[in-house]
Structure 1
Amino acid sequence: MQLEESAAHQARTIDELSSQLAEQWKIIDHLQLKLTRLSDQFQALEDATLEAPANTKPPHY
């Protein structure tokens, strides 16, 4: 009887841990997607600001 209770408790604990792990993977996937998007946006902004300005004369010349 005690072994059955222990096995049932362990099975419930394993199920809870499994569901928590699955939820954490969803969060990690979501954060990785956000990080990729932010990295792409940052790279685009950096590329846009690194372009050399046009070689024009200042207005006072």
Structure 2
Amino acid sequence: MKISVNRDLCYGSGDCVYRVPSVFTAADGFGAVIPGRENAGDDPEVREAAERCPSQAITIGE
């Protein structure tokens, strides 16, 4: 499952980076998916990070 972060919604809380630093990083003050980790959406920790994102900027899809 593919992960993406909508930069228009993200306000840079860093919660995703704190929760799953192996998948998320901060880029220019916003959350981003580490290149090569875009398909880690099946990971339960990634799903939790998406659910708990304060700005609801993380999406997981096909």
TM-score by length of 2: 0.21
**Of the two structures, which has the highest relative contact order with CA contacts closer than 8 Å and spacing of 6 or more?**
2
More helix by share: 1
TM-score by length of 1: 0.21
More strand by share: 2
Give the greater-gyration-radius structure (CA). 1
